[in-house]
Structure 1
């Protein structure tokens, strides 16, 4: 169910793009930026406002890997496991972050919705390998120890005991 605040937010995003169906990807990017994923109700509302079918908007949402239909945490941690990062030991970093957050590949988001952990094929920072990002902020030359400290720092910032 769409709340009034939700509708106002969606209407503002749609207005920004002049309710132009050819801007559907940019509109969906803005929706995901706002909610950290694409809520079903927001997609259906957007489809109606743009005069396109729900199937069309879901087709776009599922075609592009960067779109998520599942809620994500406030902090999305991406660990690169591309060739450069992998050979520089990204797997122990990945394992340490999962251990610290108590998440798995099948359950990547913490129960408190603070963190989502993802692996990616490449972050485009091979010279800084191994690399991870938190909400697109790059952490170069990562180690399991640095990963623990990064998580502690975020938790402190959020007012949680780490």
Structure 2
């Protein structure tokens, strides 16, 4: 009986150690500031499709969208699609004015200012933060905060 208990304890210890070692040796996806900057271009190109579903594909299932023209946090794909159904009516085209990119192991943050040009000719200057995570061989938005500039 003692042998069985000892074997179970050793096996459990080895499994815990193996899991810990695997977590410590996570493979980091190679990336660069240029590649992370292109993620905004991918998102902006998806806006041009005028398809809320296409835009939503840029976001992870558990991402948070704090959108420019909405007071409601969008926590699900359905809520993000709902936001983009309304936002895309304006046919927005984004342009980065300034940015700062930080990169870590399978994550990145792109923060700065951008301006949206809308179909009526108006422009909406805003500040933004995108956080990205490399999941399932793809960079996805895990949070996106955008707010209009407070000064006019």
Please give the TM-score of this superposition, normalised by the length of structure 2.
Answer: 0.22
Between structure 1 and structure 2, the one with the greater Rg is: 2
Task: Give the number of the structure whose residues are more often strand, by fraction.
Answer: 2
Please give the TM-score of this superposition, normalised by the length of structure 1.
Answer: 0.21
Task: Give the number of the structure whose residues are more often helix, by fraction.
Answer: 1
